[in-house]
Structure 1
Amino acid sequence: MKTYAIYLAKRLLQFVLVVFIGINLTYVISHATPIDPVEQTISALTSFGNTSPEAIETMRESLRELYGMSGTPLEQYVSFWSRIVVGDFGPSLSAFPTPVSELILRALPWTIGLLVVATVLAWLLGNLLGGLAGYYRKNRLLKAMGLIAMGLHPMPYYVVAFVLLVVFGFLWPVLPISGGSGIGVGRGFSFDFISSVLLHSLLPALSLVVVGLGGWFLGMRALVSNIVTEDYVVYAELGGVDRRRILTSYVMRNALVPQVTGLAMSLGAIFTGAIITEEVFGYPGIGSLLVDAVHAGDYSLVLGITSVSIVAVSLAVLVIDLLYPLLDPRVQVE
């Protein structure tokens, strides 16, 4: 128990260090842009009428204080971290005065709903079919699936998204190709809204599942192909153990350990959004929000999204590191 406590302390320290360095890099890069958010906001606010120089100067001072840009660089840095620790990223520059955290919370459910379902579905199907293909290596249907997976795996997911957009948007227009729900459909836990959301998410989810399934399939097939040659598997087969039990209890269970790690990493990375897929289908998730923020020079929003992503991915890795020694006794706690 003492050894695991030391291991836990080390992993927590690594987690804090990774998050600290990642957010600092994001802060430096975002503040190195030539765009001055204060002057940009003043220009937008004063473009529709005459404003006195005194009012503009007062506005400039207020905005610098609001955006955390007043004072020396060190004071700005301290102000930034004092806001970050409480989840305050300041107001959005492109949607002023809406807070960045509010915009992220609006978009996050769309991305989580889409990517969690697509990622888990691709993981389940890919591992199931890959495990079968690795164990029943002479099955022609599974061999054909392997060839298809090899063709899909290196294909960028946004290419699949464009293909689906052309097929179901122009050649055979039977599915919606834009938005997260139908226009005029009231949001809430109603049948109309839920069915509209599911219908609009079919194409974005399909583009992610098709490509993701290929990677999980190939990874699981390779792992199973190595495990079936192990002595304990050969001994079980010679002992007359049912092949289905060998596949599930002896082979796939052991092969799933690294695949679970990959799943945790993928789920942690959903907070970045499927950027291009969301843009292609006009899906109102984190990816689309990030692209709009970059185009508008809204570095407060960019900083907020990237910070959330850094924490999420680092937390996923931390959870897996902590669970590994408990789930797999072969992993040594050092």
Structure 2
Amino acid sequence: MNFVKRYLLPRLIIYFLVIFIGITMVFVIPRFLPTDPVLQTIARIRAQGAYMDPEAMQKTIETLQELYGLKGSIWEQYIKFWNRFLRGDFGPSYFQFPTPVIVLIKQSLPWTIALLLTTTLLSWILGNVLGGFAGYFSNRKWGRVLDYIAMIIRPMPYYILALGLLILLAYIFPVFPLGGGYRIGMRLTFNLDTIVTLLKHAFLPALSLLLIGIFVWFQAMKLVVQSVKTDDFVKYAEAGGIKPATIARKYVIKNAMLPQITGLALSLGQIFSGALITEMVFSYPGLGTLLYNAIFTGDYNLLMGITTMSILVVTTSILVIDLLYPLFDPRVRYK
């Protein structure tokens, strides 16, 4: 009972409060954009040569406002928005009308999950392992070499690295495709040819995310380890004759991993940074490309749907890490 009242309940309250505030901001911010999606739709229809008398145009505008959730006052729109959200309905997309937003998200989400989950976990594991040993054995030559490489790659913007890889490995040396998630006209079936094709198309965007991610974690872990290895318990272990590799693995790196675990949960928000830009560069059919199209076309519903999904994923991952944190740090206790 103490666990529920003093540990679980406060975190659940904060969790739902963050989701409520975040989704409210998602509703409010797009309505400050200078574009009106309903008028844009009418202008598109008229640009195609279709004639509409004033009465038909007014009815069309009212129908579109109802479909897009823009009918009535801001408060009425807000209530309707929450009703739709609780049903998992974000309405139709503007620029791919009348396809529902949830359908577009379901089509793009597996691509982003496959790309992001793989690269995030691999970069986190490799970066922390390399950074941990490089921080403890700071006088080793290989550690200094990795540090020099990190100083070159780490400050490099995602899009510069992605463009460099694209030019080098897809244009000058055409080893990998220039873009996309699969061959044009290809039918996705579960066989060896499909798997190889998907891996070839995903390799360059994954590599650009991996290289940056590994050295971000590498530098962060190295700094934490260099701080931890000066603690008294490390000196005591060294004085006790324990092998340096054992001290690094079982004592130093294990303690230095605690802030990195929290960072792992926060890194899932990459859809708004490196993943978005990388998917744009490689025309990868994930949520990043979909989000870019939503911003570019002023697609309120699609923008709100993708942003809401990101809020839910990030807040849920942080909650899970927070609840599991006592398993990683024995100093933390449920009170």
Q: Scaled by the length of structure 1, what TM-score is found?
A: 0.94
| Partner residue in 2 for 1:318 | 319
1:18 maps to 2:18: yes
What is the identity, as a one-letter code, of the residue corresponding to 1:182? R
| Preserved contact between residue 273 and residue 286 of structure 1 (Cα < 8 Å) | no
Give the direction of change, closer, same or farther, for the CA distance of 1:40–1:270 in structure 2 (3 Å limit): closer
| Preserved contact between residue 115 and residue 273 of structure 1 (Cα < 8 Å) | no
Shift of 1:245: 2.3
| Preserved contact between residue 272 and residue 286 of structure 1 (Cα < 8 Å) | no
Superposed counterparts of 1:235-314, under 5 Å = 235-270=236-271, 274-314=275-315
Shift of 1:244: 2.8
CA distance in 1, matches of 2:293, 2:228: 47
Greater displacement, 262-271 / 132-141? 262-271
What is the identity, as a one-letter code, of the residue corresponding to 1:101? I
| Partner residue in 2 for 1:231 | 232
Q: Deviations over 1:249-292 (max 9, x none)?
A: 11211111111111121135448771111111111111111111
| Preserved contact between residue 269 and residue 312 of structure 1 (Cα < 8 Å) | no
Superposed counterparts of 1:2-81, under 5 Å = 2-46=2-46, 47-81=48-82
Greater displacement, 33-42 / 307-316? 33-42
CA distance in 1, matches of 2:318, 2:258: 14
| Partner residue in 2 for 1:136 | 137
What is the identity, as a one-letter code, of the residue corresponding to 2:233? Y
Shift of 1:332: 5.3
Q: Deviations over 1:199-239 (max 9, x none)?
A: 01111111111111111111111122222222222222222
1:211 maps to 2:216: no
| Preserved contact between residue 179 and residue 200 of structure 1 (Cα < 8 Å) | yes
CA distance in 2, matches of 1:50, 1:295: 27
| Preserved contact between residue 136 and residue 248 of structure 2 (Cα < 8 Å) | yes
| Preserved contact between residue 325 and residue 332 of structure 1 (Cα < 8 Å) | yes
| Partner residue in 2 for 1:115 | 116
| Preserved contact between residue 27 and residue 303 of structure 1 (Cα < 8 Å) | yes
CA distance in 2, matches of 1:65, 1:185: 38
Shift of 1:3: 4.3
Aligned length: 334
Q: Deviations over 1:174-220 (max 9, x none)?
A: 11121011223211222111111110111111111111111111111
| Preserved contact between residue 133 and residue 142 of structure 1 (Cα < 8 Å) | yes
Q: Deviations over 1:99-118 (max 9, x none)?
A: 01110111111111111111
Give the direction of change, closer, same or farther, for the CA distance of 1:267–1:34 in structure 2 (3 Å limit): closer
How high is the sequence identity, in percent, across the aligned residues?
49
Structure 1's unaligned 5+ residue stretches are none
Does the residue aligned with 2:39 lie in a helix, a strand or coil?
helix
CA distance in 2, matches of 1:67, 1:273: 30
What is the identity, as a one-letter code, of the residue corresponding to 1:145? L
Does the residue aligned with 1:283 lie in a helix, a strand or coil?
coil
| Preserved contact between residue 64 and residue 70 of structure 1 (Cα < 8 Å) | yes
1:98 maps to 2:116: no
Q: Deviations over 1:17-64 (max 9, x none)?
A: 111111111211101222222222233234332234433333222222
